[in-house]
Each structure stands twice: as C-alpha cells, then as structure tokens.
Amino acid sequence: MARNKTSKAWMQEHVNDPYVRRAQAEGMRSRAAYKLQQLAERDKLLKPGMTVVDLGAAPGGWSQVAGRIAGETGLVVAVDLLDMTPVAGVTFIRGDFGDDAVLAEVEQAIGGAGVDLVLSDMAPNISGVASVDQARSVGLAELALDFAVNHLKPQGNFLVKVFQGSGFEALVADIRRKFVQVMIRKPEASRSRSSEVYVVAKGLKVRG
C-alpha cells in the first residue's frame, strides 16, 4: 500500500512538473534536456561545429540539445544499451561502449578526430539498496571518465552526472587530477530532493 502511495505521489509530481510540461510542449525527449541546456549555457560547453559523444543517451534529450547546437558542421554520436528513436543530425550506436566492438563503432563514427565534449547522464537501474546503487553510479561515472580521458582532444571538456554519497569525493578528486578546472553544478531543472549533481570538467590535461 505504501508503495502504491509513493507511485501515485511520484506520478502527481511528474505530471505537474513544469519541465515535464515544457518538454512535451517543445517536443523534447525528456525533462533532462533542460538540465543540459542550463549547464551548457552557464559553462559554455556547446557551440557549433563541435564533436560530441553522448554516453547513455536514451531517450535522447541531451542528444537533441547537443545536435541542435553543434549543427550541420558538428558531429554528435549517441551511445546507449537501450534503443533510441533517431534524433535529427545525431549518429546513434546501440550497445555498451565498454565492449570493444561497440567502442570500435564509436571510434569509427568519430572518424579519428578528437572529441570536444563527452557527456554522460548515465544512471544505474535502481535496486533499492542505497549502497549498491551508489557504487553503481560511481562506477558508471568512472567508465565515462575513462572514455573521456582516452578520446577527448587536449583541452577537451567532460560533463557527468553523479549521485552524492560514498565514493563521490574520490571520483571528483580523480577528475581534478585530469582536468584543469572542475565545478560541481546542480541545474535548476534538477529536482531539489535528488542527490544528483553534475561535474563539469574543463581542459583535459596533457597525458603523460
């Protein structure tokens, strides 16, 4: 019964959420699109002509925003385990970017060019066990960081969602070692009760 009440409360909040309504009105795939929009505007992350990789892209809200701004002169490659309805101007690859075959597809799509911006809005499937979910969240962020470090151009940028909790500080410290400037952001479109934050990392340091 309690779960039923929780589900009803969530649905009520979702239906009344101004960003959900705005997404529906503006043809965006998800309310998350506005999180990226706000982060990108604040930290000047997106511009025309960029090469962008969107990890964990489905249902495509971030890819929509990135594709519109990168434009015809840019390249946006979206990757997800789940299928995704095509987004205009975005190359979609279905699979786990940690698999060699999928990674090779991503690298082929990039065409040997370095990436300007790696995005990750990935979140684990929630088990309900907080410690397990937190560990999985940090693990996904670490995978995204590893991809970013290996594929970004020198001075390239990285944006990743992380949940605050165990392992968070160590992850941020690792990102700080690899990027010149690191900021923790919580965009207005992020629900205030959520522990999610976004790490904006600018200026990949030269490897070696």
* Active-site residue, selected from the candidate residues 5, 8, 161, 186: 161
Cβ-based neighbour number of residue 204 at 10 Å = 22
Tokens matching residue 40: 């990108």
Hey, CA dihedral for 37, 38, 41, 45, is it positive or negative? negative
- Pair of tokens at residue 197: 């934050």
**DSSP-assigned states of every residue in 58-127:** TT-HHHHHHHHHH-TTSEEEEEESS-----TTEEEEES-TTSHHHHHHHHHHHTTPPEEEEEE---PPP-
What mean pLDDT is predicted for residues 52-77?
95
Q: How do the domains of the chain map onto residue ranges?
A: 31-204
pLDDT exceeds cutoff 70 at 24: no
How many whole angstroms from its chain centre is CA 79? 11
Q: Which residue has the tokens 């309690």?
A: 2
Q: What is the CATH number of domain 31-204?
A: 3.40.50.150
Mean pLDDT for 57-80 is 95
Residue 161 half-sphere exposure toward CB, CA atoms < 13 A = 21
User: Using N-to-C axis directions, what is the helix angle for 168-178 and 130-151, rounded to 10°?
Assistant: 10
In this prediction, residue 16 carries a pLDDT of: 64
Top pLDDT among 201 and 19 is at 201
Q: Active-site residue 186, yes or no?
A: no
Q: Cα separation of 172 and 149, whole Å?
A: 14
The closest of 108, 67, 23 to 95, measured between CA atoms, is 108
Q: pTM for this structure?
A: 0.89
